[in-house]
Structure formats: structure tokens, C-alpha cells
Amino acid sequence: MTFRLHRALAVSWKEALDLRKNPGLLASMLALPAVLVLVPTGVVWAWLRHPDEISFRAMALFYEPNLPRAVDPVRFMIDKLVVDWFGIFLLMPVFVPILISSQSVAGEKERRTLEPLLASPVSASELVLGKSLASVVPAVVITWLSFAAFVGAVDAVAWPVVHAPVLPNGMWLFGVGLVAPLFAFLGNGLAVLVSARVGEARLAQQLSALVVLPLMGLVGGQLAGWIRAGTGYYAVLGLVVLVLDVVLVWASVRLFDRERLVSRWS
Amino acid sequence: MSRIEVRSLSKQFGARSAVEGLDFEVGEGEVFGLLGPNGAGKTTTVRMLTGLLRPSSGGATVCGVPLDGDGEALRSRVGLLTEQPGLYDRLTARENLRFFLKLHHRDTAEAWDSARRWMQRFGLAGREDEPCGTFSKGMRQKLALIRALLHEPQALFLDEPTSGLDPESARSVREAVGELAAGGRTVVLCSHNMAEVERLCGRIAVVKGRLLAVGTVPELRRQTGVVEIHVEGTAGAAGEALGSLVPPCVWVAERHSLRVTLAGGVSIPDVVALLAQARVRIHAVLPAQRALEDVYLELTRGAETEAT
């Protein structure tokens, strides 16, 4: 079957319209970025209210026992926080597409709109691309805007003490620019895959959201000092996710089989 | 010329057979009724003919496209009104229609003129920019019908098109169906509304997993084999003479008229001969004038009896 971009874009257009008119979903989508920007900014602000060097050096030595005396432990801890925080920040590009795609795919079944849609000339790959664009693009845009807000907020709070910009740094630019979109595809792919198998948007959301557990585990490893995060670490993570993305796209297109969807859900 | 040709069309879901060996043809400009009880395979048949389900065996050609051929071409030539309107509630009527026009690559001024005419006709003018979630069931049904028509399909499959409509709206939909057929569109109508089917459909197929009968309403009446025999004297006494028929036939007597349901293998001459032998004077033998509903029930009950 011929792939027609105009049909994939039509699906995206419809999804975007539907999203704009869903205030509940929009609120859920914006709550997470707000938390992910405000929490680390608040931590930096709280630290810098009483920048007691002895405590900071103790904390810094836990993570870096060979920390040279010349290194400012306050700056070290702030850098350590923002590097580790990127692992948490990645929840955003994963979670936002899960919210959108669960609604857009399983929601079609719930609202009984699936059969007329599948009776149109749209192909499985056009549907998957259209729905994916409608969830990945907002997720990436929100991630980038949140990153800009995070940079502004952290630098504003840290400047009086460190007298230099903390962000953006190379790792964050690499991570937000390349790794975050890959994670957005991961969240979307999982949600599409799960939504194609279950009949309710809420169940699809709950099951897809389980993907955050391994991510939380990795962040836990960073905080415990077992994993040293950095550009290389996030690059490897990005490569693993890229492979998962390819597998998920392939599986999603296969699962978007008219026969299967119509006979199970219409 | 046939626009839909169905040959030995069958569908199985696992071990369960939903449709078995359907054979029928539907011509250009014909309104064809698909009748059958719930679970008889009507929806499955329509889903196969609109490219949503693959047949397990047999096949069909719809608008010149075989079911195992180009699915995209098939779906762009047919229109489907499903039992549930399936509209996007948060989107307005205009946005719902525009989405499907975009999918059909027909988001043009001409298509919108046509949409406006249909909306005017179905009493939806002025409601274009309201969310569909605020529409009544009837309005939703009419909008779904417009959606099925907008890409100008050659064949339309309508599942209960007047379900939930008030009498005036139902009439406007029926008139529209008639006009579409007069304009050369093929319409396949699934309905439980016998009066509607009888009024609109040139031919009817009665299905119950398999094809029980197909033909015009008079042909179906003949196929079910009920004759009305006008006799001299009391019809009840004449009916007693039919007791020796094998297989036995059900008869109902009313004053001078005897309604006989012919069981398999029994023909009208057999009945007439038996009555003549019993010295019953026959004035007339006529095919019974029965409502389509009676014919339908007889066919479907007959199929049940055969199955048991």
C-alpha cells in the first residue's frame, strides 16, 4: 500500500485539535514539567541560602572521594545535581506522549470512532505516524521549553553565589537535543503498542507508565553513587532507546492491523 | 452491471463460523437490503465488503476492486455508516467532516458545497461549529451519514441509517437514499425496520450465517411457499384433507380461505390434487400476500429448525 503523507498529517491535525480541546489532558501534560523545573531550582535555592562549605565538601566527597581542594564544592554539588537531574528530566519526554497516545489510540476504541476511521483509506503506517507525531512533537516542544525555563531559573538562583552560568552545558544540550526526542518516541511507541492491545485509555496509560520504573532505578543508582552520569552515559542510554524505538515502531505498525482492531474492539 | 459481486464469501473467527458461502450481486443504482437477526453475520459481511475484515474463503469484487486487492482503492470507493455514529465529540461538525475529507484528499470548495447542502437538507445548517458532543442522537446519526457520503463513494453501506431518528428526519434520510440510488450509487442497507427495507430496497438478502434467500419482496414471498386457497364451504374442513401430506404442512383456515405453508418438497399441485381428491371445490390458488416481516421470520425460523 502506498504511504501518503497527507493522510498521516490529517491524523496529526485531528489529534492536535482534539488535544487542544481537552483541558484535563493539557493540565496533566503541564503539571509534570512544572514540577521537574521547580523542584531542582528549589533545591539549588535552598542550598545556596546557607552555603556552608564544610557540609558541601562532605557531600561532594561522598560522590568524588578524590575531589581536589581547589574545586568549589558548592559548584561541584550544583553541577552534580543538574547532571543527575537530567535522568529525572527524561521522565517528561517519556510521560507526555504516554498521556497523549493512550488517549488517542485506546480512546478511539472507547469512543467507538475506530471503525469509521479504519474504513477510510488511511493505512496502518499513516495512522501510527500521524498519531505519533501528535504526541511526540508536543512532548519534545514541552521538553525544550521546560529546559529553557530550567536554565533561566537555575542560573538566576545560582548566579549570586557561583557568579557563572550553571546551564546550559554540553551534556544537557546533547541530552535535550538528541536523547530526549528518542525517549519521547519510546513513550509514544509503548503507549501505541499497549493501546492497541487494551480497550481502555486509562489502563493503557497505567501499563505504559511502568516504563518509568527502570528510569527511576537508574536515577536511584546515580544518587547512590553507583552510576556516574555524563554525556557518555546518556549517549549509551540514547542508543539503547533508539534500538527500542525501532522495535516499537515495527511492532506498532504490525499491531495496527485492521482485522485485529476491528474484530476485537469495534 | 454488477457493482458488488459476492462469491462463496465466508468468514471464521477461530472455530466459529460467522458467515458461510454467501453469493449475491448488487447492481449500479440498486438499493439492496441485508436482513438477518442479531449475530446473523450482516455486520461481518459489510466489514468484509468495506475492506475492514479479510474473508476466510471465497471473495468479492466491490466497485471493481477485489477484496484481496488494493484495500486503499476499495476504501476510497465505498462509504460506511456504522451502527454507532463514531464522531469525535470534542470536535465540531465541520472539523469532523474536514478530517475525513482530508483523509480522502478531498478538502475542496466543491466538497464543502456538497457538505453544506447535505447539512441544510438534514437540518444541521447553523450547527457546523458546535462540538458534536452537544448533538442529539439523531443529529449525530445524520452527520455520520454525511461523513459517509462526502467523498462521493460508488457504493454505500448503511447500518441502521434511520435508527434514533424522528419520523421527519427518517423520511429525509430515506428520500436521500432513494436519490443516491437514482444517481447511480449502490446502496447496501442493513436494517431491522421491515417497512423501510420494503420501501427502499429493490432486492433483499436474508442471512443467518448463510444466505437463506435473495430476491425482490414478491420473489421472497414465493420462495417461502405460502399459498392462499379459496374454497367453497368451510376452509377448516378442507384443511383436514391435507393431513396426509408428507412432510406435513402447516395450514390456517379462515372462513373460506386456507393458508398453507409448503414444507420442503411439497408443491402447489400436490396440495391442489389432495384437495380435489377430497372433493373440495377450489375457487382460486394465490401466493399469500404477507408482510415482509412474516416472510423474514419464516425464513429465519426455518433456518433455525434446519439447524436443530
Q: What is the pLDDT of residues A183-222, one digit of tens each?
A: 999 999 999 889 888 878 889 888 988 988 998 899 889 8
CB contact under 8 A, A263 and B13: yes
pLDDT over 90 for what percent of chain B?
64
Task: Take residue B19 and report the three cell numbers written for it.
Answer: 458467515
| Nearest Cα residue to A238 out of A209, A258, A213, A218 | A218
Tell me, yes or no, if B276 comes closer than 8 A to chain A by beta carbon. Answer: no
pLDDT of residue B305: 55
- Tell me the residue type at A13: W
Contacts of A17 in chain B (CB under 8 A): 90-91, 95
Cα of B95 to nearest chain A Cα, Å = 8
Cα of A109 to nearest chain B Cα, Å = 10
Q: Residue A35: how many CB atoms within 10 A of its CB?
A: 13
Q: Residue A109: how many CB atoms within 10 A of its CB?
A: 21
* 214-273 in chain B: CB under 8 A from chain A: none
- Sort strands B2-13 and B16-27 into parallel, antiparallel or unpaired: antiparallel
Cα B275 from Cα B278, distance rounded (Å) = 5
Cα A101 from Cα A133, distance rounded (Å) = 10
CB contact under 8 A, A112 and B47: no
From the list A7, A21, A111, which residue is nearest B103 (CB)? A7
Work out the pLDDT band at B307, boundaries 50, 70, 90.
low
ipTM summary value: 0.86
- Tell me the residue type at B301: R
Is B4's pLDDT higher than 70?
A: yes
Cα B10 from Cα B235, distance rounded (Å) = 45
Cα B76 from Cα B27, distance rounded (Å) = 19
Residue pair A45/A167 in contact (Cβ under 8 Å)? The answer is no
Task: Take residue A90 and report the three cell numbers written for it.
Answer: 527524561
SS3 A200: coil
Most A-contacting residue of B45, B102, B132 (CB-CB within 10 A), to test interface: B102
Residue pair A138/A130 in contact (Cβ under 8 Å)? The answer is no
pLDDT of residue A265: 64
SS3 B41: coil
pLDDT of residue A253: 83
Mean pLDDT of A137-166: 94
CB contact under 8 A, A258 and B144: no
Contacts of B100 in chain A (CB under 8 A): 116, 120
Tell me, yes or no, if B68 comes closer than 8 A to chain A by beta carbon. Answer: no
Most B-contacting residue of A120, A122, A258 (CB-CB within 10 A), to test interface: A120
From the list B52, B86, B104, which residue is nearest A121 (CB)? B104
DSSP string, B90-128: TSBHHHHHHHHHHHTT--SHHHHHHHHHHHHHTT-TT-T
Contacts of A7 in chain B (CB under 8 A): 102-103, 105
| Nearest Cα residue to A259 out of A127, A119, A121 | A119
To the nearest whole number, what is the mean pLDDT of chain A?
A: 91
Cα B193 from Cα B148, distance rounded (Å) = 21
pLDDT of residue B203: 96
Cα B28 from Cα B8, distance rounded (Å) = 21
DSSP code at position B225: T
Tell me, yes or no, if B208 comes closer than 8 A to chain A by beta carbon. Answer: no
| Nearest Cα residue to A14 out of A136, A189, A134 | A134
CB contact under 8 A, B88 and A113: yes
Q: What is the pLDDT of residues B227-246, one digit of tens each?
A: 889 999 888 888 888 888 87
Work out the pLDDT band at B83, boundaries 50, 70, 90.
confident
pLDDT of residue B54: 95
SS3 A153: helix
Mean pLDDT of B282-293: 80
DSSP string, B257-301: EEEEEPPTT--HHHHHHHHHHTTPPEEEEEE----HHHHHHHHHH
Most A-contacting residue of B47, B92, B132 (CB-CB within 10 A), to test interface: B47
Q: At what angle do helices A124-162 and A23-49 cross, to 10 degrees?
A: 20
From the list B76, B84, B86, which residue is nearest A121 (CB)? B76
A/B interface, count of CB pairs below 8 Å: 89
Beta bridge pairs of residue B62: B4, B65
| Nearest Cα residue to B71 out of A263, A32, A257 | A257
pLDDT of residue B298: 74
Q: Which residue has the cell 459481511?
A: B45
Task: Take residue B28 and report the three cell numbers written for it.
Answer: 449500479
Contacts of A134 in chain B (CB under 8 A): none
Q: Give, in degrees to the nearest 5, the angle at Cα B65 between B64 and B68.
A: 150
Residue pair B281/B233 in contact (Cβ under 8 Å)? The answer is yes
From the list A11, A112, A117, which residue is nearest B84 (CB)? A112
Q: Residue A200: how many CB atoms within 10 A of its CB?
A: 14
Q: Domain residue spans in chain A?
A: 5-265
- Sort strands B226-231 and B257-261 into parallel, antiparallel or unpaired: antiparallel
Tell me, yes or no, if B205 comes closer than 8 A to chain A by beta carbon. Answer: no
Cβ contacts of A94 within 8 Å, gap of 6 or more: A183, A184, A186, A187, A211, A212, A215
Tell me, yes or no, if B78 comes closer than 8 A to chain A by beta carbon. Answer: yes
DSSP code at position A175: I
Domains present along chain B, CATH in parentheses: 2-220 (3.40.50.300), 226-287 (3.30.70)
Burial of A261 from C-beta contacts in 10 A (0-12 / 13-18 / 19+): buried
